[in-house]
Each structure stands twice: as C-alpha cells, then as structure tokens.
C-alpha cells in the first residue's frame, strides 16, 4: 500500500460483518474463561488484553496504522507527545546514563530533558544540529544511550540532518530517536534515513482538528540490542518483574523495545491514550495525506507573499529557495515540509502586537499544525518571562511571529494577513 492508502486502510482489516471503522473499545478490562489464560497474559506468554492502563485494542489498531505509515515494526500510543518523548528516552536510559540531543527542539522537550529528566539522574548534552563532526564526536561518552533530534524543529524550523546523526549514533552503538511531529510520515520517513525510533505529538497534524492531545512511539525494528548488550541491560538481561524474560531474546529486534515500554513503563507510569482519543486520532489520520499536501501548498504561497511584502522584515520557511535549510529540506522532504512559518514585521515587538490584533481568519492560539490557521507571539506567551536580549539569544526574537498555515482557502489567509499588515 502507498501512504495515501495506508492512511485509510492500515492497522485494521474488518472481517466478514465487522464494523468498517476502527471500533472504540471503551472498556477498562477484558474477560477470560480461566485463571490460567489470564496468567499467560501476565507472563507475556500469550498476546491479549487484560487492563487498559497497559494496552487497549483501539489504541493498538491506530498505532499499527502509524507504524505502517512510518515503516516501523511496532508502535504504541501515549497520552501526549510529552509522554512519548519521555518514554522513548526513559525506555533506554536511567540514572547515571547520558543522552545527546539536538539543541533545536520543541521547548517542552527541552524542559523535560534539561530539568525533569536531569532530576532523575540522566545527563544531557545539547549540540547545535549544524555543529562540526568534531563537536558531535566529542559529545559521546561511554554511558551515552541515545541521540535525539527533531525532523523540523518547532518553532525554529531547523531541518535535522537525520543521516548524519544516525551514522554518528550507530558508530557509538546507540539508537537515533527522531521526533517527526512537524513533517509527519507523509513528508518524511526518518526510519528510511537511519533513525531507529520515531516519536510524535499526534496532537498536531495527525489529529489535525484541535480535538485530542496524544503521542506515539514507533520502533523501526533495525537496532540490534543484543549486539550492544552491555549498553542496554534493560532489554538484554532478565526482567525480574516478568519471571526473568529477556525482551531482546523473546521479542526480537522488531518487538523488544515497544514490548518493554508497554510492559514496564505503561504498567508502572500509566500515560496511555484514551481509546476515545485514539478514535479521533484515527479520523485525523484518514485525511492526513491530503491535508499535508494542502498545508504545504498554502504555506508556500503564504511564505512567498510575506517575503514580497515590504512591512515584513524576514521570513523563515524551508520551502523558500533562499532559506538556510532549503537544500536539506529538498533532500529529506521533496514533497514539502509543513505548514508552519516564522516571520518578523518591521517595527519589532510593538508592530507584531499591532499586526496580530487585526487578524480575523488567523486566530491567536497556543497551538500549531492543525486545520485552522493560527498565530502565536512567543515573546508575549510561551517565552514571556524572557528579556529581549534573552529572546534574541534563544533564537526567538521579540518580533518573531509563529504562523501555522491551515487548510482554508489560501486567498482568504493572504487577504487577512495583508489587511492586518496595513495597520503596521
């Protein structure tokens, strides 16, 4: 199946007389005939469901669709993108371990790594995604357990060199984790470029309609845990909480990572996506391919309009030929990148505020990447506590406006921007 068909058909094949849509299995628990049947599930000896804190059939069908779209072997849904990022790393690294991350990542992920996971005893080194080979090499330590990056960073719109970071990670015997939220598997499939694990905030384009917060983790199934057994004892030595199962032996390269994350992390920490939310997510996935195409078409036109407008100081969009990441974007995302643009209006912070006040089609919202065009002024919201000097140092200047171009008629979006720019 091609991507457009997988969006509709993957993950669930109804049998004779079954519902056509993935059904919502709104049940916390599941019935068995004997205690022995139940026991085999608890020992991971049989496949099946017993309690929705760990696994639910609706979630698994939707996760299987995302795994098919990404070209992975196994996947799980989480309650949010934050939970996906946390589980993806925590499934490999614990106290005393170290992780390398691109410095150009979503702010929420940066806080999770740099504050909360440090408090759990995991150390992080943040590297410039365009650093020299020497700098990248120097970041690795004997206790490094993973490398992390974002295909298109939110909101900096840096394009991550997946192949380069995958090669460096593999040379040190560790997997590359890529957050593919902004590109989606419609525009980029990181596993094909060497990534081992892919994460998503499904809250964004995948859901696409402002309906449900959620996340997903996909395993590419290509990382050989046993070949680096000393680095990943959680996967390669017996788990006493499951009668001594060795995940990498019992479930192989294709299944070990997600089985461990389900059996240990979901069991102990919860954070599963509600089946109802998984149903909404599936509705979004069905139209993901057509929506992404339209988001990219609209964003390209809007970026070109902004670039040509004399009230606009600068525009960052990887689809623009002059953009710093244009060539890399063409390599990894030949069909388009995403619908998010950042730009500044002449006159700085005050001009940005004036401009946004007059928008009518584009709404002001702390959100990106869905059907509705929306704008955010980070200096007045997500980055409000920072001084102008700190904002510039963080690459989020006081004039920066993040514009998430939706799938409305593009002429309406451009006319709205034009009338609001006239007030600046």
Note the residues at the interface with ligand PLP (CB under 6 A).
80-82, 85, 106, 108-109, 150, 154, 179, 181-182, 201, 203-204, 213, 215
Give whichever of 182 and 355 is closer to ligand PLP, judged by the CB atom.
Answer: 182
Q: Which is nearer to ligand PLP, 245 or 338 (CB)?
A: 338
Q: How far is the CB of 110 from ligand PLP (least distance, A)?
A: 10
CA separation for the pair 364, 357 (Å, rounded): 9
Q: Is 351 left (phi over 0), alpha (psi -120 to 50) or beta?
A: alpha
Residues 129, 102 contacting (CB under 8 angstroms)? yes
Nearest distance in Å: CB 340, ligand PLP: 9
Q: What is the DSSP string of 43-109?
A: TTSS---SBTTT--HHHHHHHHHHHHHHT-SEEEEESSHHHHHHHHHHTT--TT-EEEEESSS-HHH
> In terms of C-beta density within 10 A (0-12 exposed, 13-18 middle, 19 or more buried), how is residue 295 classed?
buried
Task: Check if the beta carbon of residue 413 is closer than 8 Å to that of residue 349.
Answer: no
Q: What is the smallest separation between the CB atom of 201 and ligand PLP, expressed in angstroms? A: 3
Nearer to ligand PLP, 149 or 234 (CB): 149
Residue in the block written with tokens 């609209």? 298
Q: How far is the CB of 257 from ligand PLP (least distance, A)?
A: 19
101 or 181: whose CB is closer to ligand PLP?
181
DSSP state of 362: S
Coil vs helix vs strand at 303: helix
**47, 114, 199, 389, 395 from 103: Cα distances, Å:** 40, 11, 17, 19, 11
Question: DSSP alpha helices (H): ranges in 363-404?
Answer: 388-393
DSSP-derived letter for residue 158 is P
CB of 10 to ligand PLP, least distance (A): 22
- Choose between 108 and 254: whose C-beta lies nearer to ligand PLP: 108
Q: Is the peptide bond before 155 cis (omega within 30 degrees of 0)?
A: yes
Instruction: Using DSSP, state whether 124 is helix, strand or coil.
Output: strand
Q: Which residue's C-beta sits nearest to ligand PLP?
A: 81
Nearer CB in complex with ligand PLP: 148/247: 148
Nearer to ligand PLP, 97 or 179 (CB): 179
For ligand PLP, which is the closer residue by CB, 191 or 340?
340
Say if residues 37 and 50 touch (Cβ distance below 8 Å). no
Q: Across the chain, which distance is largest between two alpha carbons, in Å?
A: 74
Closest to ligand PLP by CB, 109 or 144? 109
Pick 216 or 289: Cβ nearer ligand PLP = 216
Min dist. Cβ of residue 112 to ligand PLP (A): 9
How far apart are CB 338 and ligand PLP at their closest, in Å?
10
CA–CA gap between residue 340 and residue 370 (Å, rounded)? 10
Q: How many CB atoms lie within 10 A of CB 249?
A: 14
Q: In whole angstroms, how far apart are CA 240 and each of 221, 261, 382?
A: 24, 15, 43
């Amino acid at each position: 199946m091609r991507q457009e068909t997988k969006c509709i058909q993957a993950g669930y094949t109804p049998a004779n007389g079954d519902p056509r849509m993935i059904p919502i299995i709104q049940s916390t628990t599941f019935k068995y005939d004997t205690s022995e049947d139940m026991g085999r599930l608890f020992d991971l000896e049989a496949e099946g469901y017993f309690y929705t804190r760990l696994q639910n059939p609706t979630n698994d069908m939707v996760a299987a669709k995302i795994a098919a779209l990404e070209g992975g072997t196994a996947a799980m849904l989480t309650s949010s993108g934050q939970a996906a990022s946390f589980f993806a790393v925590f499934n490999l690294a614990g106290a005393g371990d170290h992780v390398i991350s691109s410095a150009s990542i979503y702010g929420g992920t940066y806080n999770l790594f740099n504050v909360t996971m440090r408090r759990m005893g995991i150390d992080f080194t943040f590297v410039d995604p365009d650093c020299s080979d020497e700098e990248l090499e120097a970041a690795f330590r004997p206790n490094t357990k993973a490398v992390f990056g974002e295909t298109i960073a939110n909101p900096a719109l840096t394009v991550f060199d997946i192949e380069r970071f995958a090669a460096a990670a593999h040379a040190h015997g560790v997997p590359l984790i890529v957050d593919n939220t902004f590109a989606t598997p419609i525009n980029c499939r990181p596993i094909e470029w060497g990534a081992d694990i892919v994460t998503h905030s499904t809250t964004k384009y995948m859901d696409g309609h402002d309906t449900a917060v959620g996340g997903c983790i996909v395993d590419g199934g290509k990382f050989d845990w046993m070949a680096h057994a000393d680095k990943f004892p959680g996967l390669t030595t017996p788990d006493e909480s499951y009668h001594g199962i060795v995940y990498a032996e019992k479930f192989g390269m294709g299944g070990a990572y997600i089985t461990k994350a389900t059996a240990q992390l979901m069991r102990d920490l919860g954070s599963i996506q509600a089946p109802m939310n998984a149903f909404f997510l599936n509705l979004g996935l069905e139209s993901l391919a057509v929506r992404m195409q339209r988001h990219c078409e609209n964003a390209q036109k809007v970026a070109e309009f902004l670039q040509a407008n004399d009230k606009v100081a600068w525009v960052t969009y990887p689809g623009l030929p002059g953009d710093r990441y244009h060539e890399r974007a063409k390599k990894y995302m030949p069909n388009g990148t995403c619908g998010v643009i950042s730009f500044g209006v002449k006159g700085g912070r005050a001009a940005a505020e004036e401009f946004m006040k007059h928008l009518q089609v584009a709404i002001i919202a702390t959100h990106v990447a869905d059907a509705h065009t929306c704008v955010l002024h980070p200096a007045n919201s997500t980055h409000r506590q920072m001084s102008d000097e700190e904002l510039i140092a963080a690459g989020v200047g006081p004039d920066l406006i993040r514009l998430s171009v939706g799938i409305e008629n593009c002429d309406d979006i451009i006319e709205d921007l034009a009338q609001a720019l006239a007030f600046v």
